[in-house]
């Protein structure tokens, strides 16, 4: 999987992560690592552009949640701990929209996963990059 990282200036600096390809058990740790690198470089407002992601597995959901936790200054759940990563997502679902991570342009299959799993209640989802950047 290739991940493009770009910077935009809205009211605050915004980092955009744009993975290309499937986000699944083989690639999700790359996305978490890129989120960690962005956070370590000072990113506090991140847009995850899902326009080039055609498949998002449960591991991909763990990656999105992990990046959100990183942006809050919290440790992500251990991806090797199995179900505990999913229980961490369940605990966070009732806390409202995440203020530091926005999603943009999910493809129909990915959007269905986001809707079915409740991630649309955890993250703002925007139709285009300009709207996502302006939302911060």
Q: CATH no. for residue 20? A: 3.30.750.24
Give the count of domains, the chain.
1
Other Cβ atoms less than 10 A from the Cβ of 77: the count is: 21
Q: Give alpha helix (H) positions in the chain.
A: 28-40, 58-71, 83-92, 108-116, 129-134
Q: How many residues does the chain have?
A: 136
Question: What is the span of the domain harbouring residue 34?
Answer: 2-134
Q: State how far the Cα of 105 lies from the Cα of 94, in Å rounded to an integer.
A: 24
The answer to whether the predicted template modeling score (pTM) of the entire model surpasses 0.85 is: yes
| Span 13-69, pLDDT tens digits | 999 999 999 999 999 999 999 999 999 999 999 999 999 999 999 999 999 999 999
Note whether 16 and 129 are within 8 A (CB): yes
């Amino acid at each position: 999987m290739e991940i493009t990282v770009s910077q935009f200036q809205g009211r605050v600096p915004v980092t955009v992560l744009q993975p290309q390809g499937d986000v699944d058990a083989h690639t999700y740790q790359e996305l978490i690592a890129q989120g960690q690198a962005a956070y370590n470089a000072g990113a506090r407002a991140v847009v995850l552009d899902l326009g080039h992601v055609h498949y998002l597995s449960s591991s991909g959901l763990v990656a999105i949640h992990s990046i959100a936790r990183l942006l809050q200054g919290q440790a992500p759940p251990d991806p090797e701990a199995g179900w505990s990563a999913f229980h961490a997502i369940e605990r966070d679902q009732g806390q409202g929209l995440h203020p530091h991570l926005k999603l943009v342009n999910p493809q129909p299959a990915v959007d269905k996963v986001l809707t079915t799993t409740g991630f649309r209640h955890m993250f703002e989802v925007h139709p285009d990059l300009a709207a996502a950047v302006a939302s911060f």
